[in-house]
Amino acid sequence: MATPHANPTDSTAPDAHIGVDAPLLPADVASNAALGAPAFSPLYQQIKSLILRSLQAGEWKPGDMIPSEFDLAARFRVSQGTVRKAIDELATDNLLVRRQGKGTFVATHAEQHIQYRFLRLLPDASSLEAQGPAERRIIECRRLRAPAEVARQLDLRTGDALFQVKRVLAFSGTQAILEDIWLPGAAFKGLTLETLSSDKGPMYALFEAQFGVRMVRAVEKLKAVAADADAAALLGVEVGHPLLSVERLAYTYNDVPMELRRGLYRTETRHYHNELS
């Protein structure tokens, strides 16, 4: 047995099963140990990794329904409860979404009626005033070679191909956000200003559809800064005006960084919302 945990073939079980359907681990799971990983982990963690691997490999795409817990249990030769626990964790990580009566689905940035899942800027007036969809204007989209600092954060080498996108978001006619976005050239081959401009949904939904890149988590660093001439002009404020600087590093599956983004937010009538616990 690959794990040190209980296993129902133990002869001490009061209602001993015949050995026939003994839940031996399948090759997939056993290879986990054979792969040179000396660390034993609980079965459900191994199942979690296997599901993650399928997500990563694109076996199930964003929005797809994955097999039922029962099917997965059969496939991995474990009990439904074990699969359930694996899926539970993937669901709390927002990689999967459970819908009672329907099935379990791969999370997606599209068709989530909360338009921008990673955007935390909300109107101050609390806040049934649903801020209408942002108006977006792409300012430029160009190729360049990675500067050292950007390369470091994206796990690339200095000089590697990169896309840079610059855009402004506005709410009800007033500019609110100026963003600079850096993307690895290899993963986003063929990105153009036209593609970006013609798209209507969230940018991360486009990344899923066009490039098969799904952003699953991100880390942000916030600072208060003074607007420089460039930012002031694009956001319609005077030079020196306080802006909220939001530097975001976004990751795909398995903690691979795939986007660096620097936003400058106007916060006169909006705020960055955060919940602590």
The residues binding a second copy (CB under 8 A) are: 15, 92-94, 118, 120, 124, 216-226, 240, 242-245, 247-248, 265, 267, 271-277
Distance CA 183, CA 231 (A): 21
Closest CB to DNA among residues 90, 156:
90
Helical residues (DSSP H) of 119-202, grouped into ranges: 148-153, 193-198
- Least distance CB 112 / DNA (angstroms): 16
Bridge partners of 242, per DSSP, are: 226
- Give Dmax (Cα) for the chain: 79
Number of residues forming the site for DNA (CB under 7 A): 36
> What amino acid is encoded at 269 in this protein?
T
> What amino acid is encoded at 183 in this protein?
L
The entry of a second copy, DNA, none near residue 93 (CB within 5 to 8 angstroms by kind) is: a second copy
Closest CB to DNA among residues 17, 221:
17
Contacts of DNA in 102-141 (CB under 7 A): 102-104
Binding characters for DNA, 76-95, by CB under 7 A (x = yes): --xxxxx-xx----------
- Least distance CB 117 / a second copy (angstroms): 8
Distance CA 51, CA 66 (A): 10
Residue 162: exposed, middle, or buried by beta-carbon count in 10 A (0-12, 13-18, 19+)? buried
Helical residues (DSSP H) of 128-180, grouped into ranges: 148-153
Return the range that interacts with DNA (CB under 7 A); candidates 99-107, 147-155, 174-182, 199-207.
Answer: 99-107
Element (H, E) at 79: none
Residue 92: exposed, middle, or buried by beta-carbon count in 10 A (0-12, 13-18, 19+)? exposed
Residue 3 CB neighbours (<10 A): 16
Distance CA 244, CA 222 (A): 7
The entry of a second copy, DNA, none near residue 98 (CB within 5 to 8 angstroms by kind) is: DNA
Contacts of DNA in 210-249 (CB under 7 A): none
Return the range that interacts with DNA (CB under 7 A); candidates 38-46, 170-178, 200-208, 241-249.
Answer: 38-46
Closest CB to DNA among residues 72, 177:
72
Closest CB to DNA among residues 10, 238:
10
Binding characters for DNA, 152-191, by CB under 7 A (x = yes): ----------------------------------------
At how many degrees (to 10) do helices 80-92 and 43-57 cross? 60
Residues near DNA, by CB under 7 A? 3-8, 10, 12-14, 17, 21, 23, 42-45, 66, 68-71, 78-82, 84-85, 98-104
